[in-house]
Amino acid sequence: MKRGISFEIPNEYGTFLGDVLKPINTTEYSWRIGSGESYIVVDDKLDEELFSADKKVMEDKELKNLLENNRYYIIFADLQAYPKGNISKIETYEDFTESQCELVLLVVDSTHSTIYCKDNEKLKLFYKNAQDYGFEEVQYITDENDTRTRLSVW
């Protein structure tokens, strides 16, 4: 069974989180912002953190605007999409399957990206989108090849 996809994004400034999430309407979800480290880029220099430490949930257009209307540099990112108002904490794939979380996006070491998605049709769209953007090493994560023990960047 397909659990998600993995791929490599460029290790440079850009709008990669917004690009990765293009196949879905991000405004339809409540987003849990997990631990991470990403910075907005101003005048080609790292500025303030992309996700403020005191903001653990983003709603409606807030996340979309942040990810699509800023250039940023991702070191680590941990985003979880839930139906509006149904946020919980998940740590493992089993937690994910039993929760109402519909999607997990993880970026580790600026490039290694993973999306876990319960909807197979959306998963196909994410796969095609990653290929269309020219991301490298795009492959499906399955029950057989998933080596991740925790759904987090730490």
Whether pLDDT at 143 is above 80: yes
Whether pLDDT at 150 is above 90: no
Measured in Å, how far apart are the chain's first and last C-alpha atoms? 26
Q: Would you place residue 154 in the very low, low, confident or very high pLDDT band (cuts 50, 70, 90)?
A: low
Token couple for 17: 């989180």
pLDDT, residue 55, reads: 84
Rounded CA separation 2/5 (Å):
8
Whether pLDDT at 59 is above 90: no
User: Average pLDDT, whole number, for the chain?
Assistant: 94
**pLDDT per position as a tens digit, 66-121:** 999 999 999 999 999 999 878 988 999 999 999 999 999 999 999 999 999 999 99
Rounded CA separation 81/104 (Å):
6
Rounded CA separation 31/56 (Å):
8
Q: Would you place residue 149 in the very low, low, confident or very high pLDDT band (cuts 50, 70, 90)?
A: confident
pLDDT, residue 138, reads: 98
Q: Would you place residue 147 in the very low, low, confident or very high pLDDT band (cuts 50, 70, 90)?
A: confident
Residues 6 or more apart whose Cβ sits within 8 Å of residue 27: 60, 61, 63, 64
Max avg pLDDT among 56-65, 92-101, 124-133: 124-133
Whether pLDDT at 60 is above 90: no
Whether pLDDT at 146 is above 70: yes
